[in-house]
Amino acid sequence: NAGVMQNPRHLVRRRGQEARLRCSPMKGHSHVYWYRQLPEEGLKFMVYLQKENIIDESGMPKERFSAEFPKEGPSILRIQQVVRGDSAAYFCASSPPSPGQGRFLAKNIQYFGAGTRLSVL
Amino acid sequence: QQPVQSPQAVILREGEDAVINCSSSKALYSVHWYRQKHGEAPVFLMILLKGGEQKGHEKISASFNEKKQQSSLYLTASQLSYSGTYFCGTYTSGTYKYIFGTGTRLKVLA
């Protein structure tokens, strides 16, 4: 959906460098999901955030990966000391807030940005 | 835990029909269907909230059998533009986590 903005669209990093991926949600949406998609695979949940709060980071690798969604500005997915295995497409999606988890989220539709394709040399 | 889709891949000629199935081992509160074209973002197609619900979008429709924890996507009189990978998706019970199905690659030939 054109309303969710991700940048950059393509990012090339050498092993050991840091990658910063940005996501601005649709107007009126206060929640952001991040997903990783390896070549020829499906999207895998990484983290769910609202402004100034990480709600669920159960899909995030334990090391080198972090995410934030500050009060002002876009959500940032940060990958430190990148390795070749980090090469993937990273998508964010935004959604309206939900009153709770599980069944309370059932109606929430996520709208995706165009993704950032990270290549690690 | 990831919903399993079948078939994994299907090739059609324009005008032919296809059915894509999504089956979960866990209870489903809702099912969402997305289509993703190569190199692009997933695009939301439809949401099914209740068992027995059926929805339609142009010549694409879907059903949701809550008891069987299954959903099916029906593509009628397929067009070239239907080519892509179709994913079902759902929120995980008791969490905020969202999981996509294994995906079905659909290719429509002229």
Separation of alpha carbons B30 and B22, rounded Å: 12
Q: Is B97 in Cβ contact with A59 (below 8 Å)?
A: yes
Give backbone dihedrals phi and psi of A59, rounded to 5 degrees, phi first. -95, 0
At which residue do the structure tokens 């929430």 appear? A108
Chain B residue with Cα closest to A98: B96
Cβ atoms < 10 Å from Cβ of A18? 11
Percent of residues, chain B, with pLDDT higher than 90:
59
Contact B35/B107 with Cβ under 8 angstroms? no
Instruction: List the single best residue of A95, A103, A104 to mutate versus B (max B Cβ within 10 A).
Output: A103
Among A63, A114, A76, A87, which Cα is nearest to A12's?
A: A87
Question: From residue A82, how far is each of A9, A18, A67 by CA, in Å?
Answer: 17, 6, 15
Of A106, A113, A114, the CB nearest to B49: A106
pLDDT tens, position by position, B64-108? 888 888 999 999 999 999 999 999 999 887 778 899 999 999 999
Mean pLDDT for the stretch of residues B41-66? 81
Of B97, B98, B102, the CB nearest to A110: B98
Query: Residue-wise over B2-37: b if at least 16 C-beta within 10 A, else e?
Result: ebebeeeebebeeeeebebbbbbeeebbbbbbbbbe
Q: Show the tokens assigned to A58.
A: 């159960």
pLDDT tens, position by position, A26-41? 988 889 999 999 988 8
Q: Does A64 touch chain B (CB under 8 A)?
A: no
Q: Which residues 57-86 in chain B show a CB within 8 A of chain A?
A: none
Averaged pLDDT of chain B: 89
The series of mean pLDDT values per 10 residues for chain A, 121 residues long, is 86 98 92 92 92 92 95 95 96 83 71 95 95
| pLDDT at residue number B59 | 85
Contacts of B2 in chain A (CB under 8 A): 42
Percent of residues, chain A, with pLDDT higher than 90:
71
DSSP state, A47?
E
Q: What type of residue sits at position B1?
A: Q
pLDDT at B46 over 80: yes
Among A101, A105, A95, which Cα is nearest to A35's?
A: A95
Pairing of strands B60-65, B54-57: antiparallel
| pLDDT at residue number A1 | 46
As a 3-state breakdown, chain B gives helix, strand, coil percent values, each rounded to 5, of: 5, 55, 45
